[in-house]
Amino acid sequence: MSSTLHTPAQHASATKGAKERDTYLTADYGWKSWLFTVDHKRIAVLYLISIMVFFLIGGTFALLMRAELMTAKGDLFEAETYNKLFTMHGVVMIFFFLIPSIPAVLGNFLVPIMIGTKDLAFPKINLLSWYIYLVGGGATLYVAITGGLDTGWTFYAPYSSTYANTNVAAAAIAVFITGFSSILTGLNFIVTIHKMRAPGMTWFRMPLFLWAQYATSLIMILGTPVLAITVMLLALERTFHIGIFDPALGGDPVLFQHLFWFYSHPAVYIMILPGMGVISEIVACFSRKRMFGYHFIAFSSLAIAIFGFVVWGHHMFVSGQSAYAGFVFSFLTMLVAIPSAVKVFNWIATLYKGQVSLETPMLYALGFIGLFTIGGVTGLFLAVMGLDRHVHDTYFVVAHFHYVMVGGMVMAFMGGMHFWWSKMFGRKYPEAMGQFAAVVIFVGFNFTFFPQFILGYMGMPRRYHQYNDEFTALNVLSSAGATILGTGFLMTIVYFLWSLKWGQKAPQNQWDAKGLEWEKAQSPPPTFNFEDGERIVVTEDAYAYTYEESHTGSGHEVKK
């Protein structure tokens, strides 16, 4: 489909192929031009490199854990070492990979282009957020090197505040610092989307990716400060024994859980909403159809963000909160299923009678829809108090959130990276390799995590380095799946890097897709995103795909 895409409508085609066209990548050279850049696209690339480093670190921890769990005995690592592995895996993957993944990389790159402006509202603050992220990440690596952390990523008091012998205070400070990078990103997106949309880009003409980013940003600025103050209190308690979470002085460890989950449950939606935005873009493009139920998808993002703040107690059904609180939280939790299901049904309705083609991004999107649905529905199991007592703290929970976080967010991140790769770097990734790797990742993912549902239901607790013999077969299956999954990710990283130099040069609109980033911006875009002096005016709704356009391949508007 890509051979027909030398679009005469683009004025720039005269210079296409020639080296003189300046892109954001070639506008300036040298390390200073990167480390002091205020270009949102370059900052996105900086973020991409950093989160991939943390992804590899966190992934290594995961593989080491799966290696230990190959056998029922704890033979590869000491119990303490294993505790540190799962803790660092959680901290690194959540705070340093998942939370910044789509917002800070794809969001940073795409938000200004999608609304037709030159940059985010506060470019310097955007750069500052990356530096804050690096400082937080550096502090975390410091913790990892100086003995690690064994509290679990949840830092539950009083273990973290009193008993743990690891570097809890430093880890708390690392999380505290990193929180501000996410606050600044969220703040930037909110202001940018409110104030910098191009003429004609009304709220309901915005691509759904932007609605998702907007909802995510709301959570970032409303939730993260509470986490910051919580881990600050934890660090104070840990360092000075002020008693705030210490029952001996009347302090309440459960208060820590309340404060922690007040952020960290909404944070779960930070880790899925942007993914849903990516899936909306991909599904519409590869179905060649307008999005079914645009308004419902847009508002369901906001609904998820709002509901997300009132369900934290479902993490605490067995922590001694009152049965009435449990009842309310259980009910509210089930409500979250409604906006989530609205999205899934609308994606499926968009596929219906669409001209579906199965390029790599679409494979990831379809994988997302299935895996997220499994992850979401098992979330409902956990929202039921009676069932939660049975599977609480078992592998059922582990499998559930990995279906949402990896099966959902990581699939969406991969789909988004493939979808916008040519836009970001001007080269195509090898399509056949991409499709193959997508299938490998899908298969590996399910082999890794589906057995964990069964293990959890059978009663295998999470966070132990050894287990009863009867769990062996399923654990071996899960570990084997993890190697397949890891291989899939490595393949992807390798061909992405390969394509930067040897990939086929991409046209402006690789997918014949709608949206300002495809129709108006070169691949890769110039520093100010659009042709010099071109003022973007939006005249049509998002996803103006029609059957004729895709059928005849001449769907480009004639516009001045």
Binding residues for another protein, rule: CB under 8 A, are: 27-28, 33, 37-39, 117-124, 183, 187-188, 190-192, 194-196, 221-226, 228-230, 232-233, 236, 240-244, 249-252, 255, 258-259, 262, 527-528
Report the amino acid identity of residue 484. I
> DSSP characters for 252-307?
-HHHHHHHHHHHHHHHHHHTTHHHHHHHHHHHHHHHTSPPTTHHHHHHHHHHHHHH
In the complex, the smallest distance separating the C-beta of residue 378 from another protein, rounded to whole angstroms, is 31
Q: CB-wise, 21 or 258, nearer to another protein?
A: 258
Smallest separation (angstroms) from another protein to the CB of 16: 24
Question: In degrees, to the nearest 5, what angle opens at C-alpha 284 toward C-alphas 281 and 285?
Answer: 85
Q: For the CB of residue 15, give the shortest distance to another protein in the complex, in Å.
A: 21
Nearer to another protein, 5 or 242 (CB): 242
3-state SS, residue 423: helix
**Residue closer to another protein (CB basis): 151 or 217:** 217
| Least distance to another protein, CB of residue 351, Å | 37
Nearer to another protein, 258 or 556 (CB): 258
The answer to whether 189 and 217 are in contact (CB under 8 A) is yes
Find the shortest distance in angstroms from Cβ 156 to another protein. Answer: 16
* Contact yes or no for 78/251 (Cβ under 8 A): no
Supply the minimum distance, in Å, between the C-beta of residue 408 and another protein. Answer: 26
- Within a 10 A sphere around the Cβ of 386, how many other Cβ atoms? 8
Q: Which is nearer to another protein, 123 or 158 (CB)?
A: 123
* Residues whose CB falls within 8 Å of the CB of residue 79, separated by 6 or more in sequence, listed in order: 464, 465, 466
CB of 517 to another protein, least distance (A): 17
Q: Which is nearer to another protein, 142 or 528 (CB)?
A: 528
Closest distance between another protein and the C-beta of residue 225, in Å?
A: 4
Q: Which is nearer to another protein, 254 or 544 (CB)?
A: 254
Report which of 185, 154, 401, 397 is spatially closest to residue 274, judged by C-alpha positions.
185
215 closest CA partner among 279, 149, 270: 270
- Residue 483: left if φ>0, alpha if ψ -120 to 50, beta else—which one? alpha
Cβ 395 to another protein shortest distance, Å: 32
Please identify, using beta-carbon distances, which residue of 15 and 239 lies nearer to another protein: 239
**8 Å CB contact between 344 and 297:** no
CB of 92 to another protein, least distance (A): 24
Question: In angstroms, rounded to a whole number, what is the distance separating the alpha carbons of residues 341 and 320?
Answer: 31
State the nearest-atom distance from the C-beta of 249 to another protein, in Å: 5
Nearest CB to another protein, comparing residues 230 and 452: 230
The owner of tokens 């369901």 is: 300
In whole angstroms, what is the distance from residue 524 CA to residue 485 CA? 30
Using a 10 angstrom Cβ sphere, with 0-12 exposed, 13-18 middle and 19 or more buried, the burial of residue 212 is: buried
Closer by beta carbon to another protein, 39 or else 68: 39
Q: Quick check: helix, strand or coil at residue 362? A: helix
CB 310 within 8 A of CB 288: no
Q: What are the beta bridge partners of residue 14?
A: none
Please say which residue, 325 or 494, places its beta carbon nearer to another protein.
325
Q: Where do the H-state alpha helices sit in 503-525?
A: 516-519
Angle at 348 between CA 345 and CA 353, to 5 degrees: 135
Q: What residues contact 502, with CB distance under 8 A and at least 6 apart?
A: none
